[in-house]
Amino acid sequence: MRSKKISLTTLAIASILPWVAASVSSADKAKVLLDPPPLPSGGSGVEVVPGRPRWVELDDFVPGEAPPLRRSDPGLPIATPLTMTTLTPSIAFDGVIDAGGLIPPDTHLAVGPGLATAGRVIMVTNQQVRLWDKTGGPVASRGLSSMFTGVGPFAFDPKILFDQHSGRFFIVCLRGLNSTESEIHIAISSSGTPNNLSTDWAFLVGSGLTNIGGFDTWSDYPGIGADALSLFTTVNLFDSTSTFRGIKIRIFDKAALLAGSYTFVDRNYDDDVTNVSTTQPAHVYGATPNGGFYLISRLGSSTYRLFHITGHPAAPVATTNPFAWSGGTFPSDGGADQCTVANPDVATLRSRIQNAIHRNGHIWCTLAADPDNDGQVEVVWQDILDNSYPTNAPTVFQSGFINGTGANPWTYMPSINVNATGDAAIVYTQSSTVECPNMYYVSRLSIDALGTFQAPVLARTSAGFYDSFSPSDPDRWGDYSAVVIDPTDDCFWVAQEFVFTSGVGTSRWGTHIASFCPEPYGACCFDDRSCTVEVLDDCNTLGGTYQGDGTDCTPNPCLLPCPADLVVDGAVDVKDLLFLLGAWGPCPKQGDCPADFDNSSAVDVKDLLILLGAWGPCP
């Protein structure tokens, strides 16, 4: 009897369809689409019905037709491009200022947890280490060489990391500039909110001397990164003639470091055996596939080298291979123009990856090269999918370069970082024959088109050209900068060098710190029930309804809960058809007529068509 009952119902439906089709004019068909119920307001929390058209499009339906292109459609343009501008700083202040005698500054930065006066911002330079709260209020300062004592005339090349895994700050610093004396120093804060640069820290030191390929070498230009178990540092190895001989990856047992023990394992790579260059640890946010750690170096315009280390910290095993990318050529001129051609050029360190991070299966890194072959250096950035390497080969997900603004600019000395929502920022220097070396930064939201960053922000203007006491041309600049993520609010902090005072042979460098938060974004609903993720202003410009910060389109909040399921049993079937037929005619009360799907104040043919179009189980 059950199958016979269904068969009779089917016949009944089939018998009324010709009458339905004949009774609906073209205008009525269009109105089914043009007059849907109101869009949900922000934060409505309505259930989503993915995978099925919410409204029956009748003759107007085009299977497979793409929705309107909007800003959040990756890699695709929109008809009228929206203005995309990186936000200006919410806080900015100058950092360490050149007191004379040390170039370049080697500017690096880290920030810890806490807001305002409860948080800590720490800058390290070749001259000084300084500690502020997050309002820019000074807390402590100390000379680098007095903080890290040991061999050689002075300490140099400091870098700092706030390790969110352990909640501590780590500083790596070097001493010794020859193949008979070299040290790698590590400082560890006792908490995430140190109040001084002495008793709130532990100081450990080990040798940086290495015999590689029969050459005695010393350590230079460190990198730093960490995962949950280990602290990774890297150094370049130079012999007594300052010839590059290879790299060292020093893998520290983090638990031992926190207990006061300088416990490590080295992995050294001879450049004559394994083609290597400056190698940067990809600091880990979250976790990596199989608990491995990645490091990356640039081999040339079309090749990079990826390292993958497992078994750390006690017995690290490394896998390394070269892979293809479009990294930009090595321009023959490594010195950037500045202000006028009469001034010395500025060094760009064009051959090195400057920093790297790993987050959510992506390795982000940045460097300076010549990707457009115009003979000038530009900031190049890469976003590489690890693809669980070495199980699978990594692939470049997106990349690009910052060509700068104005007349023939050079962009260089970059750093990059990415927050938890996939937003990215780069800080860099820009100069040209008509522009002195100024500090800029750019950002991109995860919803921006692939391969793009937004318009730049000029963060700090230099006083003039840079011409230090050194007679070298190009003049030393950098050697690095910093973009870091605030562990409390996921905002960006950037630090870079600028020209504090300008004069022939007397210029002094300064450093600047700025912080900004990416513009929040969320789901944006449109009249056709489609959804894209936009910032609030863009959603309003496009004529959509913003659903609130942090909302997204999976599932689609623009769709209503299965309204054709009138008896609310999880399916649109004969029971709902009978309910609709029982309500046929004018609605007794506006808003209290569930079968009036198109809000026409009547249950009629158009509502019947909507119900038939939704026939079957609710998603």
Q: What is the pLDDT of residues 80-135, one digit of tens each?
A: 334 456 889 999 999 999 998 899 999 999 999 999 999 999 999 999 999 999 99
pLDDT for 379-400, tens place per residue?
999 999 999 999 999 999 999 9
**Residue 393, token pair as written in the block:** 């080969």
What are the pLDDT digits (tens) for 524-580?
Answer: 988 766 788 888 888 998 899 999 988 888 877 886 778 888 887 888 999 999 999
The residues, any chain, with a CB within 8 Å of residue 604's CB and separated by 6 or more, are 584, 585
Q: Which CATH code of 2.20.100, 2.130.10, 2.60.40, 1.10.3470 fits the domain covering 91-516? A: 2.130.10
H/E stretch holding 541 reads helix 536-541
Which amino acid would we find at residue 51?
Answer: G
* pLDDT at residue 286, as a whole number: 92
Q: Report the alpha-carbon distance of residue 329 to residue 373 in Å, rounded.
A: 7
Domain 10-37+560-619 classification at class level: mainly alpha
CA atoms within 13 A on the CB side of 333: 13
CA distance 397 to 395: 6
Sort strands 230-238 and 317-324 into parallel, antiparallel or unpaired: unpaired
pLDDT in tens, 137-186: 999 999 999 999 999 999 999 999 999 999 999 999 999 999 999 999 99
Cβ neighbours for 114, distance < 8 A, ≥ 6 positions apart: 120, 134, 192, 193, 488
Domain ranges of the chain: 10-37+560-619, 38-48+70-84+519-559, 91-516
Q: Which residues pair with 429 in a beta bridge?
A: 412, 439
List the strands of the sheet with 91-97, edge to edge: 91-97, 508-516, 492-501, 482-485
